[in-house]
Amino acid sequence: MNMVLKSEEKAVFTLRALYHSYGYAPYKMSKFEEYDFYVKNKNFLISGDILSFTDLNGRLLAMKPDVTLSIVKNFKESQCSLQKLYYDENVYRAAPGTHEFREITQTGLECMGDIDVYLECEVIMLAAKSLEEISLNYILDISSVGIIGGLFSEISAPEPVKEKIATCIKQKNLHNLIKQCNENNISTEITERLKKLAFMYGPLGEKLPELKSLCLNEEMKDACNELEIIYNTMEKCGLSKNINLDFSVITDMNYYNGVVFKGYIDGLPESVLSGGRYDNLLEKMGKRAGAIGFAVYLDKLERLDKSTDIYDADLLITYEDGVAPDLIMKYAEEFTAKGQTVRVQKLPTDDIKCRLTVRITAEGVQEND
């Protein structure tokens, strides 16, 4: 069965079992939501383009571009509530660089309610294990909005300027970072700290002392202590060696707070996992609770199949007129019984690539590599 399943299909089954084993319950949603719901939360979406249509009752609906927003919308808060959910859903997003929408398979989990440092560690551990299930060669880049936010609290510049500086840090754009600081009279001391954060990258355990030296207030210290607890917990789980500190993973600070992270696997240039603490999103939607979660972008795993499997089948069988069908089928079944894939057709074609080619004639079987 595994030989038939694509990388993203295998991942779905494996990750479901992983999340279920830690007490996360499955979440299922409709393909459609009210269009206005997504428009009001456009900043949280990866793509601002939304596929919409009018239903038979005249309502403007959207094909869902995101799952987290739906889970937050349906979250029922109470003094002791804690929701642990995982999902396996298709979302509909515009393909980068095109005017076409794609149906994308996405899996992930969300933890909402009274979120403490243990639950943060659990979600980050499951993010690391998710990457590990896909590839042993993975990296989980992590940072904290609290570090950047704490440093920004020392700056009197307006919010649009801070957003531009955050973008410079995310893009590691030193030239524009210095330019923004100079144009807005930000002190040399703060500018130097911002520059160091922008280019701080490496194993989390090794970079923590350097990060601590940049702390100027309690918000930064608390965020740094939180990262240290996460590192120590991951170290005891045997997962710390694959976790790096990287402030380029900072995303929209209007929604996210606390830790944020992205996951990468060998062979793919883009992140295949993204997540973080997003209490601010719940607050914007009138919910008084914490939240942390992540999504695995299974559509990106398609590239692994394309890069690793250059053959359409292990064996191509061709045959001439007059060969009995039962003889052809018997030969094919000898290979399928060994777990190999077989393609049978009368004549060879240039568009079919197979590891081995055989031709069955009245005289017997001729093999060609």
Question: Are 117 and 137 within one domain?
Answer: yes
Tokens of 102: 């794609």
Q: Is residue 1 part of a domain?
A: no
* One domain, residues 275 and 322: no
Q: How many C-beta atoms surround the C-beta of residue 21 within 10 A? A: 10
Write down the mean pLDDT value for the chain: 87
- pTM tops 0.75, yes or no: yes
Q: What are phi and psi of 193, to 5 degrees?
A: -65, -40
Q: Which two tokens stand for residue 189?
A: 């001391």
pLDDT at 37: 82
Domain membership of residue 2 (yes or no) is no
* Structure token digits, residue 116: 């403490």
The residue segments making up the domain with residue 212 are: 7-306
Q: What is the pLDDT of residue 312?
A: 81
Q: Which residue has the tokens 């009018």?
A: 54
Residue 212 domain-assigned (yes or no): yes
* 229 and 323 share one domain: no
Give the β-pairing of 82-94 and 25-27: parallel
Q: What confidence tens digit (pLDDT) does each residue in 99-120 have?
A: 778 777 889 999 999 999 999 9
DSSP notation for 81-131: -EEEEEEEEEEEEEPTTSS-EEEEEEEEEEEEES--HHHHHHHHHHHHHHH
Report residues of the chain scoring pLDDT below 50: 1-5
Mark whether 302 and 316 lie in a shared domain.
no
**pLDDT tens string 310-337:** 778 888 999 999 889 998 999 889 888 8
Q: Per the structure block, which two tokens stand in for 283?
A: 């607050």
Residues 111 and 154 in one domain: yes
Q: Is the domain of 58 the same as that of 204?
A: yes
Domain boundary among 306, 341, 359: 306
Q: Are residues 357 and 300 in the same domain?
A: no
Task: Examine the domain organization and report whether 96 and 222 are in the same domain.
Answer: yes
Residues 298 and 320 in one domain: no
